[in-house]
Structure 1
Amino acid sequence: MAFLNINGRSIAYRLLGSEANPLVVLAHPLGMSQAVWDDVLPMLLPRYRVLTWDLPGHGASQAWGERPITPADLAAEALALADLAGAERFHFAGTSIGGVVGQQLISEHTERLLSATLTNTGAVIGNAELWNTRAGRIRVEGLAAMSEEIVPRWFAPACFEAEPALKAGWCTQMGRGDDDSYARLCEMLGSHAFTGKLSGKPVKVQLLGGSEDLATPPSTLEALAAELDGAPLEILEGVGHVPSVEVPGLFAETLLAVMAVDLGDVGANGVDYATGLETRKQVLGEAHVARSTENATSLDAPFQQMITRLAWGELWSNDDLTRRERSMITTGILAALGREELTLHLKTAKRIGLTEAELRQVLMHVAIYGGVPAANHAFALAKELGWGDAR
């Protein structure tokens, strides 16, 4: 876990995975913490860089302060963290109040989003009386006392039966939060709605709900879908308010499907330049791609266009292999052939996160199947580029 100071407050966050992968930002529900994503992370990290953070007064993030909290404040935290990760655009997924953050991003910052997956949320959640009453009770009774009443609403009954310790664990987590920050977030939910603010936004959106969700039942998600011009909605049977905890495998499968680049009918139509350029920047880095583009002349500009569409659009943008796997394949082929691009892809392999052991095995395969001299040259070049510890 790391910390970032935003407007005088310390924000707890995690930034995991290779910087060569697309970024996905995850926002947790009210009263919980970024730990709700723990069981999902192993399924996302092979293909995505993942950023999670704790909302004000939740987890390890500092309490809010005296002024009211708005959805714009929470979206600003998400954007500041995405900027820290160096992501011009990113995927977003949020549950409950995390989905409210997503709606704010869709409403005001569509240009930053590659996709938005909103789960167990609504354009309107509850009503002002409900949230103001809860805020008042929290300030008097405290989160620790009220957690026994609130936490059972998060999960389907079958979930508690399967995992009895779940209730006590999340009650403990909720009880550690800051009472006033939680109360201010309740007041925010009671005073803000996104009715009429989400139509006509050019971003891919997927909605996800649970049939047993008491806080945001399917009807709330259906109303949100209408606000989003009929965005697709999936209701998970037997699931409550927090699918990333209750059914992490199914949640991850859905999220991965949403975030996957839609290449269309590649055989008939190919892949557009913009898709390839986005992937090329992620894998090789903005600086390298900028230099290649700036150095192009009338002679090789069409060639740069072609490799961006074919190599980076049709191959590297395809999710059938991870970028880590493609890096090993590409490095091995270039080493065997002795091509000058090997230098670039040895640097890229380090950027993607290949280990020394993985690179060694790739080059030893080159030695057996491509020739010892080719592997010897590749090992020497890798050492020049900083691979391996000096003895």
Structure 2
Amino acid sequence: MAFIQFQGRTIAWRLLGPEAAPLVVLAHPLGMSQSVWDDVLPTLLRRYRVLTWDLPGHGGSAPTTDTPTLEALAEELLALVAETGAERFHFVGTSIGGALGQHLLVHHAERLGAVMLTNTGATIGTPENWHDRATRVRSEGLATMAGELAPRWFSTATKNNTALVEGWRAQLARTDDESYARLCDMLASVDMREALKGRPEHDDLYLLGGSDDLSTPPETLRALAEALGEPPLEIVDEVGHVPSVEQPELVAQRLMTWLAPRRDHVGLHGISFDEGLETRRRVLGAEHVERASQNATTLDSPFQQMITRFAWGELWGSQELSVTERSLITLAILASLGRDGELVLHLKTAHRTGVTEAELRQVLMHVATYAGVPAANHAFGLAKQHGWGDQKAAP
């Protein structure tokens, strides 16, 4: 876990996965923490870079003394995204995280890739209930109320896992009372129904809920689906308010399917230049891509556009392999063919794609076996010239 200062307050956050992988942002529910995503992360990290963070007064984040709004939470999130260097990102949000996702769809749609909203609504509960809860939290405290509130998150089947329920009860009890109460007051005023009517179009949108969710029951999610133009919606049986905790394998599988570019759409419509350019910048770095664009002439400009759409958009942009796997394959092919210029470029960027020294060594040893020792020996030499290997650690 890392920490960052934003507008005088400390935020706890995590950034995991290769720098060159597409970024996925995960937003947790009220009263919980970024740990709700822990059992989903191993699957996501095979293909993506992942950002999680704790809401004000939750987990490791400092309490807030301000009145929170969705706009303020979005500013906080975008400040974290700026730290990653990503221009666009996929977004997944549960409950209050889903309300934040709706705000992003209305006000920052150009920054978003695929969006998955779970267990949320254009309105959540009633203003009276949220204000009543805020009043109780301020008077009684979450340490007292946690035993009442935490079991509401889970289905009957999950409640039988007493260790899990007790663990999240303890997490809720440690949450800052005033920050939680202020977020309750904020949720009392959240009503996205009118705002969603005028939002920009966004195709890659998915909804997921639980049949046993008491806070945002299926009818709440169905009403949100109607407001969003009927995107794909799935209600999972015997799941409550937090699918990532109750059914992490299912959530991970859905995310891997829904976040990836739709191959049927790609086959029919192709990849736009801008989509390819985004991937090219993410893998090779913005400075390299800018130089290549500036150096293009009337002779090779169509070629640059072609490789941006095809090589970077359709090939590197596909999530059927990770950027690390594609990098290793590319290094092996370039080393075998003796394409030194491109090989040096990909050796330099392999750190961004998550290639380790051991993986590079194994790839070049395969090159030696199947393409010839001279080709591998030459590639090893180029790799050492460009920062691979530690002379002091060599036997």
TM-score (norm 1): 0.97
Shift of 1:275: 2.4
SS for the counterpart of 1:197 is helix
**Cα deviation, residue 274, structure 1:** 2.4
1:342 alignment counterpart: 343
Partner of 1:149: 148
Q: Which runs of 5+ in 2 are unaligned?
A: none
Q: Aligned pair in 2 of structure 1 residues 267, 209: CA closer, same or farther (>3 Å)?
A: closer
Return the alpha-carbon distance in structure 2 between the equivalents of residues 6 and 370 of structure 1: 52
Deviations 1:325-351 (A, max 9, x none): 111111001001110200011112121
Partner of 1:55: helix, strand, or coil? coil
Quote the Cα distance in structure 2 between the aligned partners of 1:269 and 1:130: 48
User: How big is the shift at 1:229?
Assistant: 1.5
2:309 alignment partner in structure 1: 309
1:116-146 per-residue CA deviation (whole Å, 9 max, x = no partner) reads 1110001100111100100000011111110
1:264 positional shift: 3.2
Provide closer, same or farther for how the CA distance between residues 60 and 266 of structure 1 changes in structure 2, counting only shifts above 3 A. closer
Cα distance between partner residues in 2 of 1:11 and 1:269: 41
Question: Which residue matches 2:31?
Answer: 31
> Pairwise mapping of residues 83-102 of structure 1 onto structure 2 (< 5 A)?
83-102=82-101
What amino acid does structure 2 have at the position aligned with 1:103? Q
- Given that 1:263 and 1:271 are in contact with CA atoms closer than 8 Å, whether structure 2 keeps it comes out as no
Asked if structure 2 preserves the Cα contact closer than 8 Å seen for 1:120 and 1:208, the reply is yes
- Note closer, same or farther for the CA distance 1:264–1:272 as it changes in structure 2 (3 Å cut): farther
**Is contact 2:21–2:49 with CA below 8 Å preserved after alignment?**
yes
What CA distance in whole angstroms lies between the structure 1 residues aligned with 2:106 and 2:285? 29
User: 2:84 is aligned with what amino acid?
Assistant: A
Structure 1 residues 321, 69: closer, same or farther in 2, change over 3 A?
same
Tell me the equivalent position of 1:169.
167
Shift of 1:80: 0.6
Query: 1:210, 1:218 → 2: CA distance?
Result: 7
Q: Is structure 2 residue 291 aligned with structure 1 residue 294?
A: no
| Aligned-pair CA distance for 1:268 | 5.9
Amino acid aligned to 1:179: D
- Report the residue type matching 1:352 in the other structure: T
In structure 2, distance between residues paired with 1:276 and 1:108: 24
Sequence identity, in percent?
61
- Indicate if the aligned counterparts of 2:21 and 2:322 stay in contact, CA closer than 8 A: no
Cα deviation code 1:188-210 (max 9, x no counterpart): 00112101111342222111110
Other-structure match for 1:194:
192
Partner of 1:329: 329
Provide the secondary structure at the position in 2 that maps to 1:336. Answer: helix
Deviations 1:30-52 (A, max 9, x none): 00000000000000011110000
Deviation string, structure 1 residues 289-345 (Cα, Å, up to 9, x no partner): 111111100000011111112211221112222111111111001001110200011
User: Is it true that 1:252 corresponds to 2:252 in the alignment?
Assistant: yes
Aligned-partner SS, 2:50:
strand
Contact 1:263–1:314 under 8 Å retained in 2: no
Residue 390 of structure 1 corresponds to 391
Residue of structure 2 equivalent to 1:219: 219
Alignment gaps of 5+ in structure 1: none
> What is the CA-CA distance between 1:164 and the residue it aligns to?
2.0
2:313 is paired with a residue whose SS is helix
2:132 is aligned to 133
CA RMSD of the aligned region, Å?
A: 1.2
Q: Against the structure 1 CA distance between its residues 154 and 257, is the aligned structure 2 distance closer, same or farther, given a 3 Å change threshold?
A: same
Structure-2 separation of matches of 1:254 and 1:59: 26
